[in-house]
């Protein structure tokens, strides 16, 4: 069921509090709802213009089960032919704390100024686990594990993979892979629909 978020999750959190659509990944229409929300945001930021390039930057590491959500989404998307869209961050070539700034600089130096959609895992309250959040504005990667990384993106997509608040690194490492794979699949389907139509 979709609703509005007013409290940011831990990890993959937004730089500023803004309303966000929240969708349970088990909702049979989850991918369609994500696509609909993304299409509205992409259109409002000029991402549907014929010449406008889009970049999906999928943040995370394949060294931690919970944190592999972003690279899994990137790997799914990389196999597709999405119009005017570049994918950064896959299982083979992840975007993480050690190379995020390099990717940000490259995006900033790109004369085409692509629309950037940031994808990341996050931690939340027990009742929020399994929710996918879509919203306008940047992500603050690593916030849930007390890493101070720069904000990324004009649109964010975040999957709450586990509970936050205590020993976040251990929580991310002990997150069930099946759970993360299912959330990643739904997020990738929503992105595919939105980026193909828009």
Q: Which CATH number goes with the domain that contains 106?
A: 3.40.50.1450
Residue 14: which domain range? Answer: 3-197
Q: How many other β-carbons are positioned within 10 Å of the β-carbon of residue 15?
A: 16
CA–CA separation, 185 and 174 (whole Å): 20
For helices 177-197 and 30-44, give the axis angle rounded to 10 degrees. Answer: 50
- In this prediction, residue 77 carries a pLDDT of 97
pLDDT at residue 42, rounded to an integer: 94
Q: Which residues, in sequence order, are CB contacts of 25 under 8 Å at separation 6+?
A: 130, 131, 132, 159, 182, 183, 186, 187
pTM (2 d.p.): 0.87
Which of these, 89, 85, 55, 54, lies nearest to 69 by C-alpha position?
Answer: 89
Counting the structural domains of the chain, the total is 1
Residue 113 structure tokens: 């100024």
Query: Cβ of 102: how many Cβ atoms within 10 Å?
Result: 10
What distance in Å separates the CA atoms of residue 112 and residue 140, rounded to the nearest whole number? 24
What is the per-residue pLDDT for 145? 61
Query: Which residues does the chain have with pLDDT short of 50?
Result: 1-10, 14-17
């Amino acid at each position: 069921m979709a609703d509005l978020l007013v409290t940011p999750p831990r990890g993959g959190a937004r730089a500023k509090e803004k309303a966000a659509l929240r969708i349970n990944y088990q909702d049979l229409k989850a991918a369609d709802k994500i696509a609909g929300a993304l299409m509205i945001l992409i259109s409002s930021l000029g991402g549907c213009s014929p010449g406008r390039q889009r970049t999906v930057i999928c943040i995370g590491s394949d060294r931690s089960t919970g944190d592999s959500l972003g690279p899994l989404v990137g790997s799914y998307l990389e196999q597709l032919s999405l119009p005017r869209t570049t994918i950064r961050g896959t299982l083979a070539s992840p975007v993480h704390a050690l190379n995020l700034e390099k990717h940000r600089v490259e995006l900033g130096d790109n004369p085409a100024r692509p629309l950037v959609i940031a994808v990341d895992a996050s931690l939340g309250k027990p009742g929020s686990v399994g929710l996918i959040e879509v919203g306008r504005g940047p992500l603050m990667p690593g916030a849930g594990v007390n890493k101070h990384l720069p904000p990324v993106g004009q649109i964010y997509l975040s999957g709450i993979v586990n509970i936050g608040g205590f020993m976040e690194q251990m929580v991310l490492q002990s997150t069930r892979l099946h759970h993360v794979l299912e959330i990643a699949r739904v997020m990738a389907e929503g992105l595919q629909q939105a980026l193909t139509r828009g």
